[in-house]
Amino acid sequence: MALAAGAMLGLTAFLPAAEAADSSLLFLAEDVPSGLDPDGPSIAIPTTQLGMVQLLEPLIAYADKASPNEDGVKMPDFSKPVGRLLESWSYDPGTLTWTLKLRHGVKSCAGNEFTADDLLYTYARALNVGGAVPNAWFLLNMASVKGFSTDVFSSDPEVAKKAKTLGDGVRKVDDYTVEVTQTEPNPLFLVNIAVTISQGVFDSKAMKEHATADDPWSYNYANNVNLPSFGPYCLESWTKNSEIRFKANPNYYRGKAPIEHVIIKKVPQGGNRISILRSGQAQLIQGMTPNQYDSIRKMPGLSVSGVYGNEGLFVVMNFKNPPFDNIKLRQAIAYAMPYDRVIQVGYGGQAKKWESVVPSTYPGFVAHEPPYTYDPEKAKQLLAEAGYPGGKGLEKYADQFKLTYVSEKETTLGPVVNQIRSALAAVGLPVTLDPIPQAQYGDRQIVKKDLAFAINDQEKPIGVDTGYAMQLFFVSKAAGGINNMVNYDNPKLDAMWAKARVEPDTAKRDEILAQMQNILMRDVVWLPVVEFKTQWAHSDKLKGFTWNPGNSLLLYDLHY
Amino acid sequence: MTQVPPLSAAVPARRRSRRPAIPWLLGFAVVFAGGAIFMAAFGGYVVPFDPTDSAFMPSMPPPALSEVPGLLWSLVTGSQTEPIHWFGTDSSGFDVFSRVLCAPRIDLSIALASNAFALLIGIPFGLIAGSFRNPLTELMMRVSDVLQSFPVFISAMILVALGGQSIINVILALSLLYAPIYVRLTRTEVLTQKSKGMVEASRAIGQSELNIAIKHILPNSMGPALVQSSVTIGFAILLTAGLSFVGAGVRPPTPEWGLMIATGANDIVLGQWWTSVFPGIAISLTVFSFAVIGDALERRYNR
């Protein structure tokens, strides 16, 4: 409480009374952006993405569904892409070429007009792969855009240099027309250019003004100073590890944002965020536990808006770590999983059982049949078939059964992992808990890929496509699976994806993707447990909540 | 107005400065600390719930005070067959009462073990440093001073981080940090004892310095360190809880007071006070009890 009081005093000092008006918003989050460059080192951090999406403008987005969900949150209709920086687009299957017609009259925060040069600069920068993470390149490579090959990483400097030159895959036709050619008929192009945090377009003039001889693509400037783009907000000030301030872009082509000033302030302790929200000084908070959201729902003057978007919790079991290479054992764990308890105790009922490895809101999702249910007897039977009756023989794998999770999420994941540990122990699995810091977890998941047994609630495909998820998480490393954290290597699955990714017939493609989901569920490649609500707590005067696949709240949609 | 009587010149100065003894407080402290030690040994066998097994009732509040007599009576009469969550449940559905009672196994074990190790390190080094004055023992004392000059909590965090998060490493870290206290206390007492006649007499009859140190000086120099140890046990409990509170101590779901407070702290603002308050009270009373016992021992030693 002392901390809360201290935090409130601090906020009182920094937030003038006049700012508590309808034109301002104080948003409290677990952190503020560590960087702003989409190819920067902190791209995977949600609070970093929260900052980026306010500044960047995508080429396309999705239209809202006709009616909001039960919490009043507007949901996107993934079958209806709408132009943002694009006025229109067309595709010629004969030449595998997309013709992109750019919107006229769009101005950046700096007042520069959006033209084809900005898009070409953005693509050329992606191809340069000079940032900490080749995020923008990866999505264009995944979409089979000509020229975006792995040659950019060649150890031969000449090959790499040549590959980094934007060739005829992306061509400027005139100031408002760009043509993009693919190497194969890959439908992911349209999906991927909707991903704001990867494919948002830079204000090339502003970027070039801050280029240096050492940093010709302004990575340092974009990551540490400002991210010049055509989005609804402009950066007003930014103190890393403390706060970031946005001011509505006066030139924004869809009209100036209803809320002129937004401050995102770091308040690490969830209890303190609630205290400040209750005091009325803040209007919006995020990153609370389900239990806390549940309590806030009952507080006068406050609301919780939530949506089943694309967030889910799953169990990681690494195929490189015996005994998790045993499919029967994996299935036994799937049947020993206490799904209902996780939903009720871990998420206070704000979750539902997850029946596949892709979000159920995504096109192409297919629920596994028959579903894995909590069935301890069947789990014991499978465990015996796996060669470990009653768990005998697993003692030597005690180290592998350390259930790893992010220690910073103890308040959220603690109740979940405790339910799982108890249930698995009941069938003879020697599970212990192993909370480790977020940074260590991320390194082991993404770089080393050596997490033997872990809980993950942060990975999700932000490209709205089942194939996107397959490419990202499940195909083998040799086939380009960049985030295959369980080291699953199934040549049959790789072959199916190779076929699906170039299949022009949507029905046939969906059929292959459905078969792939069934294989993944049969082998329990991920053990999907629950899909949980993405939630925000806020003043009940704040309206306009709209979910997008990036999961970062777009402040432009909010109003009083 | 009552006039304060002048201090009697007959009262020795040392006794004048001392607080009066409170027998009932000492009795309470002995009983409470004894109870904590008992729970450390047998807590797991007497608690109503498995402290690491989740009930399907997260964040359940404890029964209201007005309900407690009725519940107790129903237990006596046998009409209540199910165990009661006397202190409620936490966000994982763990029984707070059972966890509070089982926590001494970790907290006290760490505190007692680290204190024992610290004594084992500190007393011999203190004896050597006091008995033999040479550059090596001076260096030993400077190292000891350096160790003491760092903030204990920060040092403990660093040591646990370097060694890895485990109970053994917490014990080793605390031992290392508390040993210099005993080194200095023992050395000071050794220097005092060295000037006493019995030492001179031992030398006169030809006993070696080592023999004198072990046979005559050591037994008479251990008192301050042993008195200090009860206070150090209290500090070690606090430090263990503090390390767990910041995530550097024992791992969940181990029942440990600091970890329980940390888990519940975020929910206090929602009115869910019981997950933090009960372990907080347990820590306070345990540390207080050891402090009172230490005070009594000191009084006895100085008599």
Residues A227 and A150 in one domain: yes
What is the per-residue pLDDT across A363-408, written as a single tens digit (0 to 9) for each? 999 999 999 999 999 999 999 999 999 999 999 999 999 999 998 8
The answer to whether B196 faces chain A, any CB pair under 8 Å, is no
- As a whole number of angstroms, the distance between CA A495 and CA A314 comes to 25
What is the per-residue pLDDT across B60-99, written as a single tens digit (0 to 9) for each? 999 999 999 999 999 889 888 888 999 999 988 999 999 9
Residue of A350, A418, A436, A440 to mutate for B, most B C-beta atoms under 10 A: A418
Output the furthest CA–CA distance in chain A (Å, rounded): 70
Residue A8 lies in a domain: no
Q: Say what the pLDDT of residue A477 is.
A: 85
Residues A404 and A501 in one domain: yes
Q: What is the mean pLDDT of residues A268-273?
A: 89
Helix spans in chain B (H): 13-16, 23-46, 68-77, 96-102, 104-131, 135-149, 152-163, 167-194, 197-204, 209-212, 218-221, 223-245, 257-265, 274-302
The answer to whether A289 faces chain B, any CB pair under 8 Å, is yes
Q: Say what the pLDDT of residue A534 is.
A: 94
Q: Which residues of A touch B96 (CB under 8 A)?
A: none
The answer to whether A12 faces chain B, any CB pair under 8 Å, is no
* CB atoms inside a 10 Å sphere around CB A522: 12
Q: How many structural domains comprise chain A?
A: 2
Beta strands in A95-175 (DSSP E): 97-102, 170-174
Subunit contact B93:A414, Cβ cutoff 8 A: no
Of all residues in chain B, the one with the smallest CA distance to A407 is B247
Q: Say what the pLDDT of residue B205 is.
A: 87
* CB atoms inside a 10 Å sphere around CB B2: 4
Q: Which A residues in the span 197-216 are in contact with B, Cβ-Cβ below 8 Å?
A: none
Subunit contact B269:A274, Cβ cutoff 8 A: yes
Split at pLDDT 50, 70, 90, the class of B5 is very low
Task: Select from B252, B265, B268 the Cβ nearest to the Cβ of A435.
Answer: B252
The answer to whether B266 faces chain A, any CB pair under 8 Å, is yes
Residues A484 and A389 in one domain: yes
Residue B270 has pLDDT above 60, yes or no: yes
Residues A188 and A158 in one domain: yes
Q: Say what the pLDDT of residue A213 is.
A: 95
- As a whole number of angstroms, the distance between CA B233 and CA B113 comes to 9
Parent domain of A358 = 312-532
- As a whole number of angstroms, the distance between CA A311 and CA A532 comes to 6
What is the per-residue pLDDT across A296-310, written as a single tens digit (0 to 9) for each? 999 999 999 999 999
Residue B20 has pLDDT above 80, yes or no: no
Residues A374 and A515 in one domain: yes
Subunit contact A271:B52, Cβ cutoff 8 A: no
Q: Say what the pLDDT of residue A9 is.
A: 41
Average pLDDT for chain B:
86
Split at pLDDT 50, 70, 90, the class of A10 is very low
Of all residues in chain A, the one with the smallest CA distance to B260 is A411
> The tokens 């400002």 sit on which residue?
A226
Split at pLDDT 50, 70, 90, the class of B252 is confident
The answer to whether the CB of A535 falls within 8 A of the CB of A306 is: yes
Residue A338 has pLDDT above 80, yes or no: yes
What is the per-residue pLDDT across B152-190, written as a single tens digit (0 to 9) for each? 888 888 888 888 778 888 999 999 999 999 999 999 999
Subunit contact B263:A418, Cβ cutoff 8 A: no
Residues A438 and A544 in one domain: no
For B212-274, give the DSSP string: HIIIIIHHHHSHHHHHHHHHHHHHHHHHHHHHHHTTSSSPTTS--HHHHHHHHHTTGGGT--H
CATH number for the domain that contains residue A323: 3.10.105.10
Average pLDDT for chain A:
92
What is the per-residue pLDDT across A13-66, written as a single tens digit (0 to 9) for each? 444 444 445 789 999 999 999 999 999 988 888 899 999 999 999 999 999 999
Identify the helix (H) or strand (E) that includes residue A420. helix A410-426
Residue B151 has pLDDT above 60, yes or no: yes
The answer to whether B61 faces chain A, any CB pair under 8 Å, is no
Q: What is the mean pLDDT of residues A512-538?
A: 97
Subunit contact A344:B52, Cβ cutoff 8 A: no
- As a whole number of angstroms, the distance between CA B83 and CA B105 comes to 22
Residue A388 lies in a domain: yes
The answer to whether A345 faces chain B, any CB pair under 8 Å, is yes
The answer to whether B265 faces chain A, any CB pair under 8 Å, is yes
Residues A57 and A163 in one domain: yes
CATH number for the domain that contains residue A88: 3.40.190.10
Length of chain B: 303
Residues A545 and A478 in one domain: no
Domains contained in chain B, CATH given = 101-301 (1.10.3720.10)
The answer to whether the CB of A538 falls within 8 A of the CB of A377 is: no
Helix spans in A143-265 (H): 157-163, 188-192, 196-199, 204-209, 219-224
Residue A484 lies in a domain: yes
Q: Say what the pLDDT of residue B19 is.
A: 59
The answer to whether B251 faces chain A, any CB pair under 8 Å, is yes
**CA-CA distances (angstroms) from residue A205 to A115, A122, A241, B213?**
11, 11, 29, 82
The answer to whether B277 faces chain A, any CB pair under 8 Å, is no
The answer to whether the CB of A359 falls within 8 A of the CB of A365 is: yes
Split at pLDDT 50, 70, 90, the class of B18 is low
Residue of B49, B92, B243, B259 to mutate for A, most A C-beta atoms under 10 A: B92
Cβ pairs bridging A and B (under 8 Å): 77
B271: left (phi over 0), alpha (psi -120 to 50) or beta: left
Residue A101 lies in a domain: yes
Q: Say what the pLDDT of residue B79 is.
A: 86
Residue A305 lies in a domain: no
The answer to whether A15 faces chain B, any CB pair under 8 Å, is no
